[in-house]
Amino acid sequence: MRIVFFTGAGVSAESGLRTFRDSDGLWEEYRIEEVATPEAFARDPERVLRFYDQRRQQVLQAKPNAAHRAIAELENFARVDVVTQNIDDLHERAGSTRVLHLHGEILKARSTLDPELVVPLEGAGLRLGDLCPLGSQLRPHIVWFGEEVPLLGEAATLVEQADVLAVVGSSLQVWPAAGLVHDAPAWAQVHVVDPKEVGATGSRIRHWRENASTGIPMLVELLKSGRAD
C-alpha cells in the first residue's frame, strides 16, 4: 500500500506554528507582496530576511506533534511519502524519511547566482552580506509567490501512484500545489483531515473534521488495520 500525505500549515498548527489564512494567520499580519515575492526581496531584502528569520526561530522552538509522529510511525507498516507545502522540518524531526518540500525549507539558504547551490542554515539568521561559495548573496531556500515549483513533477508522480492520499491542514488555495490532490488515481482512497471544509470535493473523499493531532492518529490506526474502506 502506498500512502501519500499532502500536508499544509495546519499539520504544524498544534506545534505552535501559525498558519497563513486562519483568523490569526500570517497573511493577516504581513502582505505577501512585501515579504514573500522575488520583487519584495529585490526591493527590501532586509525586510524579507527578517520575516524568514522570525519564521526560522519559531520553527527551531517548535516540536513535532502527534500528527507528525503518527505519519512517521506509519512507515513501519506501509510505503509513506510526505508531500508538504510547509517549510518547517517537523516531519523530518518526527522521523519521516521521505519528505518532499514543495515550497522550500526554512533551515536552508541558496545562492542568488546558482539556485542549485543550497547550504544548511544551522539555526543562525540570514543577513545581507552572507554570501554563497560563489560570492553571491544567499537567499532563503523558499519558493516565493510567482516562482517555479521545481519539485511539482516529482510530487505529482508520487500522488499518481498513491493508493491512499491524505490531505492534512491545507486550505488548498495555492496553486499549482493544490492541484496535486486531483492527480490521485480514480481508485485511490482520499482522506481530508481539517477542522474546516476545504476545497477538495467529491463523493470518494472522507473528511475527518478534526485537528491533525487527533484526526491523523485515528486515520493511521485505520490504515494500519487495513480496515480503511
Residues designated catalytic: 103
CA 208 to chain centroid: 19
Question: What mask, x for binding ligand APR by CB under 6 A, covers residues 49 to 88?
Answer: ------------------------------------x---
Q: Decide: 175 and 15 in contact? Cβ < 8 Å.
A: no
- Helical axes 212-225 vs 66-73, angle rounded to 10°: 20
8 makes contact with ligand APR (CB under 6 A): yes
Rounded distance, CA 229 to CA 226, Å? Answer: 8
Residue span binding ligand APR (CB under 6 A) among the ranges 16-24, 38-46, 56-64, 121-129: 16-24
CA distances from 78 to 2, 6, 73, 188, 224 (A): 6, 16, 10, 15, 8
Rounded distance, CA 159 to CA 156, Å? Answer: 5
Cβ nearer to ligand APR, comparing 78 with 174: 174
217 makes contact with ligand APR (CB under 6 A): no
Residue span binding ligand APR (CB under 6 A) among the ranges 15-23, 88-96, 118-126, 153-161: 15-23
169 makes contact with ligand APR (CB under 6 A): yes
Task: Please report which helix (H) or strand (E) contains residue 3, including its range.
Answer: strand 2-7
Q: Which of 6, 20, 52, 208 binds ligand APR (CB under 6 A)?
A: 20
Q: Which of 1, 2, 21, 79 binds ligand APR (CB under 6 A)?
A: 21
Question: Whose CA is closest to 106, among 96, 115, 118, 95?
Answer: 118
149 makes contact with ligand APR (CB under 6 A): no
Q: Which residues bind ligand APR (CB under 6 A)?
A: 8-10, 13-14, 19-22, 25, 85, 103, 169-171, 173-174, 194-196, 198, 211-212
